[in-house]
Structures are given as structure tokens and as C-alpha cells.
Amino acid sequence: MKITDLIGLAFSRLGTGKMRAALTMLGVIIGVASVVALVSVAQGATKGISDRLQSLGTNLLTVSPGFTTTGATRGGFGTATTLTVDDATALAQLDGVQAIAPELTSNKLVIAGTQNETARVVGTTPGYLSVFAYDMWVGSFLNQASVDHNLRVAVIGATTADNLSLTETSVGSTIFIGGLPFNLIGILQPKGGTTSTDDQVLIPLSTARQLFVGSNSVSAIGVSAANQDVISTVSAEITATLEQRHGITTGVDDFSIATQAQLLGTVSGVSDTLTLLLAGIASISLLVGGIGIMNIMLVSVRERTREIGIRKAIGARGRDILSQFLVEALALSLAGGLIGVGLGVVASYGIGVYAGWGFVFNPVTVVVAVLFSLIVGIVFGVWPASQAARLDPVVALRYE
Amino acid sequence: MSGVASEPIIRLENVSRVYDTGKVQVPALLDVDLEVADGEFLAIVGPSGSGKSTMMNILGCLDRPTSGRYILDSNPVDELDDDGLAYLRSRSIGFVFQSYNLLPRTSALENVAAPLLYQGVSRKERLRRAQAALERLGLADRVGHVPSELSGGQQQRVGIARALVTEPALLLADEPTGNLDSHSGAEVLELFKDLHSLGRTIVLITHDLDVAQAADRAVHLRDGRLQDAVPA
């Protein structure tokens, strides 16, 4: 028999029992739709997280000081005070470096009017704005003059502004940081990140050093590479420069460099696991749908015993009957799969729009889901079909 | 596929069919010898329980003899496997059943075209030949009807059209008038006579001696044994 004849037989049969065909397909429809939708949700969520990470600046490298060893106890990275303002200045001269932002961080009590909060106070340079990809909401950012002359000016993050009940009209007012008066010159746009990127107070590096730390060391240096392609080159340059400046020859560095790319890699690793997990759960419903198809096909073989007998009497071989029933099962599962893909895409569009990461469409998922539904059709169609093929024509013809 | 002129279409030599029910062996056919010549119209007559159905199954290649030889249209049926039997049913035999056995919810045209499906004939050619077969049997205005919309006589004529569409060597009819009123039954028998006069080989299995009158020759089956052949 030709495949077109088999398909014709299958569809004329399914056409005579539309309700049953629809209900049989429902299991596969739900299974495939949930696979497509859940995988899309997982990928959408990943994309959302990646987008936020990228909003922190994809070209960003963060240089942190190394660890100290107290007796036999090794401290964590950042406990040492090996990075200095001079290191930062040296890094700014490197090829491929667009801007740098040394950070000198300490927690201080910040008072504005009657409100107060203990905030992260960061002493930094004008480069901070571009290195960490912030935008101003109102006012202006720290300028070179304020750093050069140890001015007592401050720019605050959006969350800090909220906490202290500061609005755009507050720019120009005086706030107290660590008990000292500062002129509020600007408020940052919120980034909406999950970390406390909007909860901080920025003041000139020199001012922070003079008032709060009193040493030449910085807690981190943010370096912005000119573009993503030169990140590894810049990273190597930074390593070489700092090793030379710190006189390190042993290969054990007293600093570390982290890039956003590493963080993105971690996120995508987590998301792959999440996607696999969700797809696995959804596959269970596809399995149940397959069993539904097998059930209906077995009933159908029983009901159509006489038809099978007639077909054998007029010349059908066992394999003709087998392929007829198998193609019917395949038509059911494939149609269910295609409808499921449609519903899954619509659902993932809806969820994506609602959750705010937009529409994530992955053609690979669609192809895999359709293939999987075909496999379901074959696996759960073969047994009923072989039952049909093995029927004895004498018995089948007499079947009432 | 017809054999040499002298070769009979059917030759049964010493054919027995014994059903093994586990504890007892039930013989349904015993040592049957039979020849049916090309172009012959033979009636096999017997009361119920005489082995008629078994005879029909054996002759129709739906079943194999337990022992003995069966040559159909020069093919040794007793040596064939299931696919071989299916091939013979497809090419050499046209069945006409008592209860018509048309495919339900399927048009007369598709019913008649169905045997050609298993010969690998293209759909266009299948429908053309089915249409021609139905027209020959006076059913040109019924091609689109499903069996439940047809009278018994019409259904049986669709059944005959289906049996003839493959131009088989043997037309095998099992009580073809059994479910019909006397008028429709007489029409069907006239049809068989016409087909016979056109040279078709027909074996008609019936319990009804009057029906058997339509044939050239009748043999009687009793308790699984063939009685003396008597000319009709």
C-alpha cells in the first residue's frame, strides 16, 4: 500500500469519529503544549535574568583585592587591602579600557531631614556612571573637580532616595553622611536589579578616603572594556600590570578578576538544568497522552474486528492492517502534537508578555516536541496495530 | 492467472480440516476430493453443520487444510504462508458473503474500490474501475451511498461488484441469497447465471437446493464428506 493511501484511510476514519479523535488527541495536545510552554517559560526567565545582568554592563570586569592570611586562617577575597588608587590609575592607561571606577566602600549612617538609614557609601570617580551603566534621574553625577578637590557632594541611588523620602526637589539639599554634611547633587535612575544596586550613596573617592578610610586602598576597581571582544585581552593586561606593580612572580596573585561573562555562564548553566527539569515534568503528561491513544486504539481494534476480517478477505496482508492502524495512531498523535505546539506557543506568548520578558520562541523545542509526539504515536500505536494485524480472518469475519 | 485450458481452477486432493480444541479433535472436513473446471458454475450444498463454512474458508484461502493438497489457479495453497494466502485472496478470489460484509460508513464506490487498494492500484484507477463495476451491476446512481442507505439487494450487488472488480479467477459465494427476499434473491441468482455465461468460474455454497438449481453442477456435503456428485 502507498503511504498516501494509508493517510487517506486514516483521515477518512478519523473524520467519521471527530469527537473521539479530538478527545484522544487531547492528552497529546496538553502534553506537547505544556512542554513547549514550560520550556519557553524557563528560557524566558533566563533571558530576563540575563538582560538584567547585561544592564549592569556586559563589558564590565571587576578587580578585587586578594585575601589575607591571619596565622593559619585564610581570609576571603577582598579582605586584603592590596589594591590602591594608584593601581586604578594605572589600569585606566591600558589599551582597550574605556573607563575605570575604583570603589572605596563603607557602611555609614545617612540622615536626610527626619529620615535615616545605614547605607553603603561608595567613594568613586566620574567613570562609575558609565562603567556600571547607570543613568541619572535628576541632577548631575560626580565630576572630576569634585574628586580633585575632595568636595562633600553626594549622588544617591533610587532605593536610598525612597527610603530617605528624597525626591527631585531635594537635589541641592543637605544630607548627613557619617555625621558630616554633604550636598545632594543627583539621584540615579533605578535599575531594578535583584541586588542592592539602587541602594547606595556615591561620593568622590578622595572625600571618602579622607573622611572614612584614611588609607590608599580601594575595595574594588570596576573596569569597562571598550567592547566584549577585548574582555579577555583586557583581563590579561590587568593581570600583567597588577602582577608587575605588586611584584608578584610566584603566580599566586593578591587580586582576582571577575567578568560579567562568567556570571552569565553560571546563569545559563542553572537555566539549562531548570529547562530540563520542566521539560521532564511536562513529558509525563505526554506519556499519559500516549497511553490514552493506545487505549482508544485497542478499543478501536476490538470494535473494528469485522472490518479487519473483511479487509483481510479482500486481500489485505497483516502488514497492510498493521500500517493502517499505525498510521491512524500517528495521525492522532501528530495532529495532537501540532495543535499542542500552537497552544504552547500562544501560552508562552501570553506568559512572556505578562511576566515582562517578551516572547521567547525556540524552534528547536517545537521540532523536538513534534518528533516526540510522533514517537509516542509509534510506541503506543504498535501494540494495538499488531493485535489487529494478527487477527485470524475466519474468526474476524464471524465476529459480531 | 488462469491455468492451462486442461488445468482445473480448483483441485482438492484428500483434503481434511480438523479443529483441535485441546481435548478432542473435531473433524470438519474429511478426505474431500473436488475439481472445478475453468468456467464452471458449481453449487456445494449441505445442511448446517455439514462443513460448509469450513469448505468456504478453505476454498477462499482464509484457512489451510490440516492435510491434503489444494491447488487454486495453479497455486499450491497448502504450501503458502499468510502473506501468500493474502496474495491469492487479493488476485484470484472474489468473495460474496451472506451478510454482504461491506465496510460500514463507507460509500459503495469506496467499498468496491477497496480490494484494488491491496493490489497497489492508483487511487484514480481504483475509482475508475469501481465506477465501471458498479455501472455494470446497475448501481450507477448509488455510488455515493453508504451501505445503511441501500436495500439488501443493492448491498449484495455492491458486494458482487466488489468481488468482480479485481477480475478474479474464482467467484466464491457463501449463501448469497440467504439474507434477501425471494425477489432480490432471484435477481442475484440471475446475475450469477449471466456472469457464468460470460465465462466466469463460480462456486456457490448454500443449504438451499432451490438456490443450487442455478448452478451447472451440485455436490452435496454431509458430515464433512462429499457425497456423490449429481448433475443439477
Q: Three-state SS for A77?
A: coil
Residue B1 domain-assigned?
no
Please provide the average confidence, as pLDDT, over all residues in chain B.
92
Residue B15 domain-assigned?
yes
Residue A71 domain-assigned?
no
Query: Within a 10 A sphere around the Cβ of A182, how many other Cβ atoms?
Result: 24
Residue A225 phi, psi (nearest 5): -75, 155
Model confidence pLDDT, tens digit, residues B16-51? 999 988 888 889 999 999 999 999 999 999 998 899
Q: Which of A231, A253, A275 is the last residue of a domain?
A: A253
Q: Does A395 touch chain B (CB under 8 A)?
A: no
Binary contact (B123, A5; C-beta < 8 A): yes
Pairing state between β A220-225 and A153-156: unpaired
Whether A136 and A281 share a structural domain: no
Q: Does B129 touch chain A (CB under 8 A)?
A: no
Q: Does B166 touch chain A (CB under 8 A)?
A: yes
Residue B77 domain-assigned?
yes
Domain count for chain A, please give it. Answer: 2
pLDDT at B193: 95
Residue B4 domain-assigned?
no
Residue B83 domain-assigned?
yes
Partnered with residue A65 across adjacent β-strands are: A255
Residue B174 domain-assigned?
yes
Whether A306 and A164 share a structural domain: no
What's B131's domain CATH number?
A: 3.40.50.300
Q: Evaluate the CA torsion angle A78, A82, A88, A90 in order and state its sign.
A: negative
Q: For residue A43, give how far its alpha carbon lies from the nearest alpha carbon of chain B (Å).
A: 47
Residue A365 domain-assigned?
yes
Whether A104 and A243 share a structural domain: yes
Return d(Cα A21, Cα A371) in angstroms, integer. 20
Taking CA atoms, what residue in B is nearest to A15? B105
Whether A138 and A221 share a structural domain: yes
Residue B215 has pLDDT above 70, yes or no: yes
Residue A61 domain-assigned?
no
Counted across chains A and B, CB pairs separated by less than 8 A come out at 67
Residue B221 has pLDDT above 50, yes or no: yes
Q: Which of A197, A229, A253 is the last residue of a domain?
A: A253
Whether A236 and A279 share a structural domain: no
- Per-residue pLDDT of chain A in tens (400 residues, 90 and over written 9): 788 888 888 888 888 888 989 998 998 899 899 988 888 888 888 887 777 777 666 688 888 887 655 556 655 555 567 788 888 888 888 888 888 999 888 888 999 988 999 988 999 999 898 888 888 999 999 999 998 898 999 999 988 998 898 888 889 999 999 889 999 999 998 876 555 578 899 999 989 888 877 677 888 898 988 887 788 888 888 888 888 888 887 777 788 888 877 777 787 788 888 888 888 888 888 888 888 889 999 999 999 999 999 999 999 999 999 999 999 999 999 999 999 999 999 998 898 888 877 777 788 888 888 898 899 899 999 999 999 999 999 999 988 7
Rounded alpha-carbon distances, angstroms, from residue A312 to A7, A93, A388, B39, B80 = 19, 87, 11, 26, 16
The packing angle between helices A363-390 and A260-303, to 10°, is 20
Whether A276 and A170 share a structural domain: no
> In terms of C-beta distances under 8 Å and separation of at least 24 residues, what long-range contacts does B208-215 make, across chains too?
B208/B45, B208/B175, B208/B177, B208/B178, B209/B45, B211/B43, B211/B177, B211/B185, B212/B43, B212/B45, B214/B41, B214/B43, B214/B189, B215/B41, B215/B42, B215/B43
pLDDT at B174: 94
Residue A259 domain-assigned?
no
Residue B3 domain-assigned?
no
pLDDT at B1: 46
Range of lowest pLDDT (A236-240, A342-346, B172-176, B220-224):
A236-240
Whether A316 and A210 share a structural domain: no
Domain count for chain B, please give it. Answer: 1
User: Looking at beta carbons, which residues of chain B come within 8 Å of A389?
Assistant: none
Whether A108 and A224 share a structural domain: yes
Whether A214 and A118 share a structural domain: yes
Binary contact (A313, B91; C-beta < 8 A): no
ipTM of the complex: 0.93
What is the span of the domain harbouring residue A232?
81-253
Residue A59 domain-assigned?
no
Whether A8 and A46 share a structural domain: yes
User: Looking at beta carbons, which residues of chain A come within 8 Å of B102?
Assistant: 310
Binary contact (A315, B95; C-beta < 8 A): no
Q: Residue A395: what residue type?
A: V
Q: Which of A196, A218, A253 is the last residue of a domain?
A: A253
Residue A73 domain-assigned?
no
Whether A246 and A303 share a structural domain: no
Whether A274 and A326 share a structural domain: yes
What is the span of the domain harbouring residue B55?
10-231
Model confidence pLDDT, tens digit, residues B78-125? 899 999 999 999 999 999 999 999 999 999 999 999 999 999 999 999
User: Looking at beta carbons, which residues of chain A come within 8 Å of B58?
Assistant: none
Binary contact (A306, B101; C-beta < 8 A): yes
Residue A109 domain-assigned?
yes
Residue B69 has pLDDT above 60, yes or no: yes
Binary contact (A315, B62; C-beta < 8 A): no
Q: For residue A318, give how far its alpha carbon lies from the nearest alpha carbon of chain B (Å).
A: 7
